[in-house]
Amino acid sequence: MNTILGLGFILLLGLFSARMINRVKFPAVTAYLLLGIIIGPSVLKLIPKDIIVSSGLISNIVLGIIAFGIGQNFSRDNFRKVGKSVIWISILEACAAWILVTFIFLVILRQPFYVALIFGAISSATAPAATVMVIREYHAKGIFTDTLLGVVAIDDAWCLIIFAISLAISQAIHSHMLATAFLIRVFFNSLLSIFGAFILGGIIAIPISHLSKYLRSQTELLIFTLGFVFLSIGIAIWLKLSVLLANMFLGMILVNINKSSFNFFESLKTVDSTLFLLFFVLAGSNLEIAILNKLGLIGLTYLVFRVAGKMIGAGLGAHISNASKNIKKYLSLGLVPQAGVALGCALIAKNDFPEVGGMIFTTIVATTVIYELIGPLCTKYALHKAGEIFIEHQNI
Amino acid sequence: MQVKEVMSKEVITIKRSTTLKQILKLFAKFHIFPLLPVVEDDGRLVGVVSLRNLINVFQSGRTDMLKAVPFLDEQEEDIFKIEFSEEVGNLAMAEDIMESKFTTVEEDTSLEEAYKQMKLHLKEEIPVVDKAGKLVGRLGIFDIIRYIFGQKGIIK
């Protein structure tokens, strides 16, 4: 099968499978991921090799676009609107999962520190699609629902920062540096990763903001925005900075210096769905079924302790911010799903650490499928317990 | 030619606390729903309510919070089947449904520039504000076209 024919089939099968899975109330991302696993090299081998090879290219573009969009969260207006509960809960649930998973992988599973740290960082991500779907389906309303929506909307921003720091530390450890040189390198790498990305984002945001007044149509706006996002991704790769952070900072700076910035983010929505579909199908197709059976314990540990970390962190955040009893007890159950951001981070880890990358990526794909399937049930249970949905004659 | 010379100065406005019921009553006799500015007591423009926002009332969840969230499925809502209690009309306020990020044009902007902005953002009408962000009028594409027809002598 040639590449273009393969792309055509992927898009159409993706559309069809998303429609099918929507009927049983699962989000489209789950369908794309399962489709990728089924038609990928491990099962039906229907995806042309050229497309598999270009996974890295597509994921870099998609991650750049996602991170750019996530940057919107960092507007002064947004922080004022979401309230302190959302900020405390989102920061602490992300950090607690990061620390707990890292600790368990290091101490119990005896994984090298750099591997444990990567798993920990990825575990901080959540995926709102399944959660939002349940909220919409049952017309959930109330403080619990609003807090949950706020947390799932904002916490991937913390994940990107956590992942960038962890990746910088892991890369330094991985290159087997001596103690003193190592500490300097870790410090330098982390600093460079964050400040370099911040400076790059800032430098690119200025021409976007100033040149946009010359745009004349929606088409030009889309080309202009996409062009600058690509420029930011490309320069970040070239300078060995974090693509995720550079684009997140680009979105963040833009939203704070340009009051019409929402138009840039809106314009990308006309093309991002196609890229997201390809990204998830390719992520699924990169699952290595052959090594899946060796990952039972790692996968199970990740599944359990990621959720445990989120429960501890969300509970602590709710306690500090004096949130209601229901939020303290049940909110973390709405944070079970993981998808795009976790898969994207795992793809980066796969490229940066080839010897363990397959193991990390396959674990994340497999656990993503499980989380996406059980996530909606957990959210439904949490909303029911919080008294913000009413389910008649159904077992939950 | 500046926007202030062509814009309509009479604009129906609402407050943050205006309820959905009051909004619907306001336009009961209208065939179309205009872009409805939401202003503070001092006249500052803080939001707009469009037909799209009225339709969003049928959707649950704070949709404004989810704008930055990737991979969300589009919501398919059958507005003919959805169940509402009567209270929604009094409970939903302009503040809950309004768009807080919107495009405006300043009153001393040239008409050409305003038209370019409207075309760029696919807007049929746009609120006009002064330097302090206070609402001073509303500009529709028809206002601009009428002005051009007037210039050409087609209408007096």
Question: With 90 as the cut, is the pLDDT of residue A72 above it?
Answer: no
Using CB atoms, pick whichever of B68, B71, B116 lies closest to residue A127. B71
Query: Per the CB < 8 Å rule, is B119 touching A217?
Result: yes
The tens digit of pLDDT for each residue in A317-332 reads 999 999 999 999 999 9
Helix (H) or strand (E) holding A314, with range, is: helix A296-320
Across the interface, whether the CB atoms of B120 and A221 are under 8 A apart is answered: yes
For the cut 70, the answer to whether the pLDDT of residue B77 exceeds it is no
Question: Is there a contact between A149 and B67 if contact means CB atoms under 8 Å apart?
Answer: no
Q: How far is B19 from chain A (nearest CA, A)?
A: 18
Mapping DSSP to helix (H, G, I), strand (E, B) and coil, where does residue A40 land? coil
pLDDT of residue A56: 82
What share of chain A in percent tops pLDDT 90? 56
Residue B131 in this model has a pLDDT that exceeds 90: yes
The reply to whether the predicted model has a pTM over 0.90 is: no
pLDDT at residue B63, as a whole number: 62
A28 and chain B in contact, CB less than 8 A: yes
State the nearest Cα–Cα gap between A168 and chain B, in angstroms. 25
Q: Which residue of B has its CA nearest to A68?
A: B68
Query: How many residue pairs bridge chain A and chain B with CB atoms within 8 Å of each other?
Result: 90
Write down the mean pLDDT value for chain A.
89
- Examine the predicted complex and report whether its ipTM is higher than 0.95: no
Name the nearest CA neighbour of B140 among B2, B1, B13, B3.
B3
| pLDDT at B76 > cutoff 80 | no
**Chain B residues closer than 8 Å to A22 by CB:** 73, 76
DSSP state of B132: T
Residues forming beta bridges with residue B137, ordered by sequence position? B128
Distance of CA A21 to the CA centre of its chain: 21
Q: Indicate which of A141, A149, A280 best probes the interface with B, i.e. most B CBs within 10 Å of its own CB.
A: A149
Question: B39-70 pLDDT, tens per residue?
Answer: 999 999 999 998 888 887 776 555 666 777 77
Banded model confidence at residue A121, pLDDT cuts 50, 70, 90: very high
| pLDDT, tens digit (0-9, with 9 covering 90-100), for A284-318 | 998 888 888 888 899 999 999 999 999 999 999 99
How far away is chain A from the Cα of B119, in angstroms, using its nearest Cα? 7
Nearest by CB: A129 against B71, B103, B119? B71
Residue A18 has pLDDT above 80, yes or no: yes
Provide the pLDDT for residue A180: 65
Nearest to B71 among A22, A149, A276 (CB): A276
How crowded is residue A392: how many other Cβ atoms within 10 Å of its Cβ? 4
Q: How far apart are the first and last CA of chain B?
A: 17
